[in-house]
Chains A and B, each alone.
Chain A
Amino acid sequence: MAHSYTPGLTVTEQATIRRRRLLSLPGTVLVTAGETVRANQPVARAELPGKVYPLNLANQLGVAPDEINEYLIKKAGDSVNKDEVLAENKPLIKWFKTEVLSPITGVVESLSTVTGQVLLREPPRVLELLGYVDGLIVEVIPLQGVVVETNCSLVQGIFGIGGETRGEIVIAVTSPDEVLTPRHLTPVMKGKVVVGGSFISSEALTRAKEVGVAGLVIGGIHDKDLRALLGYDLGVAITGTEQVGFTLILTEGFGTIPMAGKTFNLLSAHAGQQASISGATQIRAGVIRPEIIIPNVSASIAQSAATTLEREGIRIGDQVRVIRDPLFGKIGEVASLPSDLQKIPTESEVRVMEVRFPDGSKAVIPRTNIELIEGS
């Protein structure tokens, strides 16, 4: 059914999820269906072809392109070491001899008698794809990768930077509305996933880098601090490849916004456990959001199909987050769902809902400016 609210972020104690693990180019799958894998275990491997170095032999030897074959020492397919002679001319007087040396160690990939160019390629680089989560291989996609299934607790963030990593969860603050400051970050947090409260300052980000945390999970951050951290202004939200020293996940958004109590409580309950996290974000309809996956060690790995986290629609009593000013970040529950369009202060006529906040106050908010906090 069509719906005019934003499908929410999932925060759930119990979910069965599947993650597709695909190589960026065809390779070898190292595991079989039905096998149990660890998060740090390679599940597939590919060889990334080495860098290519073009070299114009014809120019360097001072001959026509279609003549280069006569001067070659190395032929296409031959291995070559750095500074080894690729081609040379044979002058009558030795002094005029020109040798063209290989700038790299690799192979001679191809030669062109049209351009006089030789293409050299460095040895391939091995790319290993890890399991990412502890789980069960439920599908093998030949040459490309696998699908891993796991029983876990799942928290989706709204925005993140940095790639996949894992570490032990450590709660650095005492409440979801506390600001994470440099003094909260201690050397014992090295390699761990640190959970903060409502906000992290640029000083605390610097401190996190010094400490060497694996990940940071925070309610909010200022855009200017993100810009300082990245070294540029992020124009389009396609992230996951940044290398700032740790993976950063925002659960609420930009600004100082207390982490949703449900999120904070769930993470607190799993303090000390290992979590797989990813900052990869791609914001389009049907988005990729950053995530914190805490494999559920006590439950057996599901053999059945993954339970779906989709839901039918919004209902009275559902917990929701306001995602646009003036009440941005406030969390409440749906009080009523009027079906008629209503005029809002901008004069737009839109579908709205009435939200009741914990202090008992109510507000009428466009449905598109509401996000469900999903998960049981």
Chain B
Amino acid sequence: MTVPSAAPNKPVMAKPLNVIVATDCGSTTTKAILIEKVGNEYRQTYRGEAPTTVEAPFEDVTRGVLNAIAEIEELSGRKILDGDTIITPCRDAKTGVDIYISTSSAGGGLQMMVTGVVQNMTGESAQRAALGAGAIVIDVLASNDGRLPHEKIERIRTMRPDMILMSGGTDGGAVTHVVEMAEYIAAADPRPRFGATYKLPLVYAGNKDAQPQVKKILGEKTALVLTDNIRPVLERENLAPARNKIHDLFLEHVMQQAPGYKKLIEMAGAPIMPTPAAVGVIMETIAKREHLNLIGVDIGGATTDVFSVFEGLFNRTVSANLGMSYSISNVLAEAGLANIMRWVPFTIDEQTLRNRIKNKMVRPTTIPQTLDELQIEHAIAREALRLALIHHKSLATALKGIQQERTISDAFEQQQSGKTLIDMLKLDLIVGSGGILSHAPRRIQSMLMMVDAYEPLGVTRLSVDSIFMMPHLGLLSTIDEKAATDVFVRDCMVYLGTCVAPIGQGNDGERCADYAITFPDGRIDKGQLSFGDLRLVPLASDQKASITIQPAKQMNLGAGAGVAVTREVQGGVVGLLLDGRGRPLQLPTDHDLRVAALKKWYQAVGLYPG
């Protein structure tokens, strides 16, 4: 695995690591994994989890960490804890670990406010820089955001971010607007979220000519750090220096203030990394290693993080209030009841469903106990995933506001600058992570949740994080590449299979496509896929098959309407999913027809028992 530029510095390792304990302090639970060297390779051997304890009444994140590690101790028989300390390095075969490392998104993660001059230019660049560093962006202020100056000041004052990123202007351009924003920030005198007495960290990454004035205005009031402009010229973004500064300040300032983090930093053998930054490392590494276009998602209790790598360009967004426990009620508020209900294959009255969702919100650690409840949670997850991808598409774009050269052939295609980089037809792999995807009782459930939410086009492979360990491995890869790669390949990444989905619409039962699958043993499976069909063809993880699809004349698999396509497809624990439901996916609007269609699809792929 390679180390991206934004990763923390590697600590110097005196001796090889044979036993590693890693935790991720999430918003709801702290997940610990034990990694041990077995023979010549590293394996993930035990896992434990416990409620996170960053807030009252405990207000010490290390309590949850110790509880989660204690569970590993119980299961593995290895003595790791000596009171409240982790025994490092290993003393013998059954005592201690060589290193303890941790990622964290507890306590709301890193919450940032960003400012720019033009909202969809420097404002968006600043947003991308903050998101890429693993932050949650709580607001974007810009000179042209439509708010009156005193409204901006009130907003800065009432939000309590962990950090502010200021951008604006190209180098050598006008300084007035960015200085004006600095004046607003100074007037608001913003207070940090944790700790009433320390100065709020502020990264200035705007027009370098305005640096002296910004320093004069904000130097005393904030912990100001100056860095290179994130948009030195209109046509180019330069996000890395700002991202690195954000990461440094996160460790130096923000983490030091969060309850128990001083202790956590002392316990850990490497810098604490924000969870989304660690998952980003993994996603970027997979895409680069296999030269893939990829979408990754980590759906948690409070947030859903989406990552994409298209043509080598990495983007990350976080949908701060889309999640499956803490934020579940917000998924209902944003998606609307009808959108959630369209995935539920039975009738339930609105009041009951709303009350159930609110009850999950107030008791976020509960799990579905009945099949109906599981299906409702899976329905909500589909909507959270869908909304988070829409959010991601809107931010993972080409630069806006730049001049484009147009030739005669472009004259009829008045494409605007700032087009999304996400091209579902060029997508090779979808990677899912997070409790609802990693812990689904059947793997097909994870696969279909992602297929329904993302509607992959043409031929797309899907995979899932086995038991949720991508954050741990993302961080580990910056310390011990081999250990991270070994565990990632053997224990973490579960390939679900491949989805084949023709683009276009048709009437139920009509021919959608003819297909011929040639299996490794030479067997050929020929068949017809009708509209409204969902078909699962077993194909093991270690197998590849060749599929030739002849779509109906109005259907397209990427080569054009009615043009046949032959592709090599990889199997997985689920297999090959032939999706004849059409794209865009349109569910019947009539309630009874919709329920019948869902039942038919769910049964066809063995989604649920019974």
Which A residues are within 8 Å of any B CB, using their own CB? 1-3, 6-7, 22-26, 49, 51-54, 65, 109-110, 112, 114-115, 117, 119, 121, 143-144, 158-159, 222-224, 226, 233-237, 253-255, 281-288, 309-310, 323-326, 328, 344-348, 350, 365-366, 368-369, 371
A224 and B153 alpha carbons, distance in the complex (Å)? 35
Query: 8 Å CB contacts to A: which residues of B340-369?
Result: 350-352, 354-359, 361-369
**Residue B189 CB within 8 A of the other chain:** yes
Across the interface, which residues of B come within 8 angstroms of A233, CB to CB?
329, 332-333
Chosen A-B contacts, 29 in total, with CB atoms closer than 8 Å, are A2-B49, A2-B70, A6-B365, A25-B191, A51-B153, A52-B187, A110-B187, A114-B175, A115-B183, A119-B183, A121-B187, A222-B351, A222-B355, A223-B355, A224-B351, A233-B329, A236-B327, A254-B358, A283-B364, A285-B29, A285-B52, A286-B56, A286-B59, A324-B359, A326-B369, A326-B370, A346-B374, A348-B367, A366-B367
Across the interface, which residues of A come within 8 angstroms of B146, CB to CB?
none
Q: With contacts A285-B64, A324-B373, A347-B442 known, is A6 near B363, CB below 8 A?
A: yes
- B369-A324 in contact (CB<8A): yes
Smallest CB-CB separation from B191: which chain A residue? A25
Query: 8 Å CB contacts to A: which residues of B153-211?
Result: 153-154, 175-176, 179-180, 183-184, 186-189, 191, 196-197
Q: With contacts A115-B180, A283-B326, A284-B52 known, is A235 near B70, CB below 8 A?
A: no
- B361-A54 in contact (CB<8A): no
Q: With contacts A235-B330, A236-B330 known, is A346 near B371, CB below 8 A?
A: yes
Across the interface, which residues of B come within 8 angstroms of A2, CB to CB?
48-50, 67-68, 70-71, 74
A187 and B59 alpha carbons, distance in the complex (Å)? 42
Across the interface, which residues of A come within 8 angstroms of B50, CB to CB?
2-3
Q: Which one of A283, A286, A347 has the highest number of Cβ atoms from chain B below 10 Å of its Cβ?
A: A286
Across the interface, which residues of A come within 8 angstroms of B70, CB to CB?
1-2
**Residue B509 CB within 8 A of the other chain:** no
- A368-B365 in contact (CB<8A): yes
Query: 8 Å CB contacts to A: which residues of B313-345?
Result: 321, 326-327, 329-330, 332-334
Smallest CB-CB separation from A121: which chain B residue? B187
A347 and B188 alpha carbons, distance in the complex (Å)? 54
**Residue B28 CB within 8 A of the other chain:** yes
A226 and B197 alpha carbons, distance in the complex (Å)? 37
Smallest CB-CB separation from B329: which chain A residue? A235
**Residue B396 CB within 8 A of the other chain:** no
Across the interface, which residues of B come within 8 angstroms of A25, CB to CB?
191, 196
Across the interface, which residues of B come within 8 angstroms of A65, CB to CB?
176
Q: With contacts A54-B150, A324-B359 known, is A234 near B51, CB below 8 A?
A: no
CB distance from A232 to the nearest CB of B (A): 8
- Total interface residues in chain B, CB < 8 Å: 77
Across the interface, which residues of A come within 8 angstroms of B39, CB to CB?
none
- A288-B56 in contact (CB<8A): yes
**Residue B609 CB within 8 A of the other chain:** yes
11 additional contacts (CB under 8 A) given A6-B363, A254-B356: A110-B183, A112-B183, A119-B187, A158-B363, A226-B358, A233-B332, A235-B321, A285-B106, A286-B51, A348-B367, A368-B367
Across the interface, which residues of A come within 8 angstroms of B355, CB to CB?
222-223, 253-255
Across the interface, which residues of A come within 8 angstroms of B154, CB to CB?
51
Q: Which 6 A-B pairs have the closest CB atoms?
A: A235-B330, A347-B441, A285-B52, A223-B354, A254-B355, A2-B71
Smallest CB-CB separation from A371: which chain B residue? B363
**Residue B57 CB within 8 A of the other chain:** yes
- A117-B321 in contact (CB<8A): no
- A237-B183 in contact (CB<8A): no
Across the interface, which residues of B come within 8 angstroms of A371, CB to CB?
363
- B51-A7 in contact (CB<8A): yes
Across the interface, which residues of B come within 8 angstroms of A52, CB to CB?
150, 153, 187-188
Across the interface, which residues of A come within 8 angstroms of B609, CB to CB?
345, 347
- A345-B189 in contact (CB<8A): no
Contact of A54 among B27, B59, B153 (CB under 8 A): B153
A233 and B327 alpha carbons, distance in the complex (Å)? 12
Across the interface, which residues of B come within 8 angstroms of A235, CB to CB?
321, 327, 329-330, 333-334
- B367-A369 in contact (CB<8A): yes
Query: 8 Å CB contacts to A: which residues of B57-87?
Result: 57-59, 64, 67-68, 70-71, 74
Across the interface, which residues of B come within 8 angstroms of A51, CB to CB?
150, 153-154
Across the interface, which residues of A come within 8 angstroms of B57, CB to CB?
286, 309-310
Q: Which one of A115, A226, A288, A346 has the highest number of Cβ atoms from chain B below 10 Å of its Cβ?
A: A346
Smallest CB-CB separation from B148: which chain A residue? A54
**Residue B55 CB within 8 A of the other chain:** yes
A283 and B107 alpha carbons, distance in the complex (Å)? 11
CB distance from A305 to the nearest CB of B (A): 14
- A285-B27 in contact (CB<8A): yes
A285 and B52 alpha carbons, distance in the complex (Å)? 5
Smallest CB-CB separation from A256: which chain B residue? B355
Smallest CB-CB separation from B362: which chain A residue? A159
Q: With contacts A115-B176, A235-B333, A348-B439 known, is A223 near B358, CB below 8 A?
A: yes
Across the interface, which residues of B come within 8 angstroms of A143, CB to CB?
196-197
Smallest CB-CB separation from B609: which chain A residue? A347
CB distance from B320 to the nearest CB of A (A): 9
Query: 8 Å CB contacts to A: which residues of B15-57?
Result: 27-30, 48-57
Across the interface, which residues of A come within 8 angstroms of B48, CB to CB?
2
**Residue B420 CB within 8 A of the other chain:** no
A24 and B197 alpha carbons, distance in the complex (Å)? 10
Q: Which one of A3, A22, A23, A236 has the highest number of Cβ atoms from chain B below 10 Å of its Cβ?
A: A236
Across the interface, which residues of B come within 8 angstroms of A26, CB to CB?
196-197
CB distance from A46 to the nearest CB of B (A): 10
A137 and B351 alpha carbons, distance in the complex (Å)? 46
Q: With contacts A2-B50, A223-B354, A286-B51 known, is A236 near B321, CB below 8 A?
A: yes
A158 and B326 alpha carbons, distance in the complex (Å)? 14
A54 and B147 alpha carbons, distance in the complex (Å)? 13
Contact of B363 among A23, A114, A324 (CB under 8 A): A324
A288 and B57 alpha carbons, distance in the complex (Å)? 8
A36 and B202 alpha carbons, distance in the complex (Å)? 42
Across the interface, which residues of B come within 8 angstroms of A236, CB to CB?
321, 326-327, 329-330, 361
Across the interface, which residues of A come within 8 angstroms of B401, CB to CB?
none
Smallest CB-CB separation from B360: which chain A residue? A324
- A54-B187 in contact (CB<8A): yes
CB distance from A339 to the nearest CB of B (A): 11
Across the interface, which residues of B come within 8 angstroms of A366, CB to CB?
366-367, 369
- A286-B356 in contact (CB<8A): no
One digit per residue, 1 when the CB lies within 8 angstroms of any chain A CB and 0 when it does not, for chain B 410-452 equals 0000000000000000000000000000010110000000000
